[in-house]
């Protein structure tokens, strides 16, 4: 046998470098920078809690959190419910499964900006196809992402996100549903269980771990939303309207447009901590309703 230790380190060397250079150093440095004033060019200057206080006491970060929070409250249940419904349908004896799956999955692999520019055009108030559909149905046009009603803006963004992300949740749920033993379904049918009963009493309990996974993943995705705002609201200039601001946009703007590395780092850490707390809370909640064998 070869020298275990020697070859072990030789083979893992690329990742060891990765850990040191691209993970350990950046994490430590970013923590330090969150307590410093730094413009990327001159040397950093320690300022204590100043950046953190500025982010925590300022309005903008919390408006961003509220925006993204409301967005998650609309997006996560909508996406989970629709993905569950589609997965359930595609798990039935239906022809052309691969084709249907492809149709639902295509948005997932589409580059965000490509999807974004199409939706942006479909949302157009005067020439957009969505308003044309509404008006042909005798309804009034909507301003969608330009709406004066903030909830309409958030709901429009959620709609684009559901389109983009639903396929991925559906695949995970579908994989879970395929674990439901066929015999169980068949015997339940002999016992007189209807489709609805099967769904609520057999399929749903068995896939709850996947439902939970899908909800955690989409919650994290919601709080990290960035590309959709870039695609729908255009260029990120130094001034982002307050109602469209999300934490990741603030971090990007502060760091790479304003070169305020300190506040950007503090905001990045704060966002990370908040997402961690939400995930842990969901994890705690999980024990109460997720069914494991």
> Residue 168 is encoded by which pair of tokens?
């991925």
Other beta carbons within 10 angstroms of residue 209's beta carbon come to 15
Is 81 an interacting residue with respect to another protein (CB under 8 A)? no
Q: Structure tokens of 194?
A: 């209807």
Q: How far is the CB of 148 from another protein (least distance, A)?
A: 22
Calpha distance 198→12 (Å, rounded): 48
DSSP 3-state assignment of 245? Answer: coil
The least CB distance from residue 50 to another protein, in Å, is: 17
- What ranges in the chain are assigned the alpha helix state H? 4-17, 25-33, 50-57, 60-90, 97-109, 112-122, 129-136, 150-177, 182-190, 195-198, 204-223, 227-233, 247-252, 261-289
Q: Are strands 36-37 and 45-46 parallel, antiparallel or unpaired?
A: antiparallel
Stretch that binds another protein, among 53-61, 67-75, 78-86, 148-156 (CB under 8 A): 78-86
Residues 105-134 that bind another protein (CB under 8 A): 105-122, 126-127, 129, 132
- Taking the complex as a whole, the smallest distance from the CB of residue 142 to another protein amounts, in Å, to 16
Binding map of another protein across residues 31-60, x = CB under 8 A, - = no contact: --x------x--------------------
* Stretch touching another protein by CB under 8 A, among 46-54, 98-106, 150-158, 282-290: 98-106
Residues 2 to 31: which contact another protein by CB under 8 A? 2, 4-5, 7-12, 14-19, 21-23, 25-27, 29-30
Which residue of 35, 69, 81, 101 would you call a contact of another protein, by CB under 8 A? Answer: 101
């Amino acid at each position: 046998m070869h020298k275990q230790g020697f070859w072990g380190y030789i083979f893992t060397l690329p990742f060891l470098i990765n850990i040191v250079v691209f993970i350990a150093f950046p994490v430590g440095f970013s923590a330090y920078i969150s307590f410093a004033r730094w413009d990327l060019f001159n040397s950093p200057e320690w300022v204590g809690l100043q950046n953190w206080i500025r982010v925590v006491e300022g309005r903008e970060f919390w408006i961003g959190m509220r925006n993204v929070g409301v967005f998650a409250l609309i997006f996560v249940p909508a996406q989970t419910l629709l993905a569950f419904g589609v997965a359930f349908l595609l798990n039935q004896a239906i022809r052309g499964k691969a084709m249907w799956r492809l149709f639902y999955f295509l948005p997932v692999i589409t580059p965000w900006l490509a999807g974004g520019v199409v939706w942006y055009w479909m949302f157009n108030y005067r020439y957009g196809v969505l308003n044309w559909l509404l008006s042909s149905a005798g309804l009034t046009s909507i301003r969608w992402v330009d709406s004066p009603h903030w909830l309409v803006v958030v709901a429009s963004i959620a709609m684009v996100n559901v389109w983009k992300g639903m396929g991925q949740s559906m695949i995970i749920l579908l994989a879970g549903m395929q674990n439901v033993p066929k015999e169980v379904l068949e015997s339940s049918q002999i016992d007189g269980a209807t489709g609805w009963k099967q769904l609520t009493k057999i399929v749903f309990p068995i896939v709850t771990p996947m439902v939970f996974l899908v909800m955690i993943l989409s919650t994290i995705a919601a709080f990290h939303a960035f590309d959709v705002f870039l695609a729908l609201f255009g260029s990120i200039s130094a001034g982002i309207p307050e109602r469209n601001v999300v934490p990741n946009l603030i971090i990007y703007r502060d760091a790479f447009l304003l070169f305020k590395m300190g506040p950007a780092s503090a905001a990045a850490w704060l966002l990370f901590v908040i997402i961690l707390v939400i995930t842990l809370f969901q994890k705690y909640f999980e024990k109460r309703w997720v069914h494991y064998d």
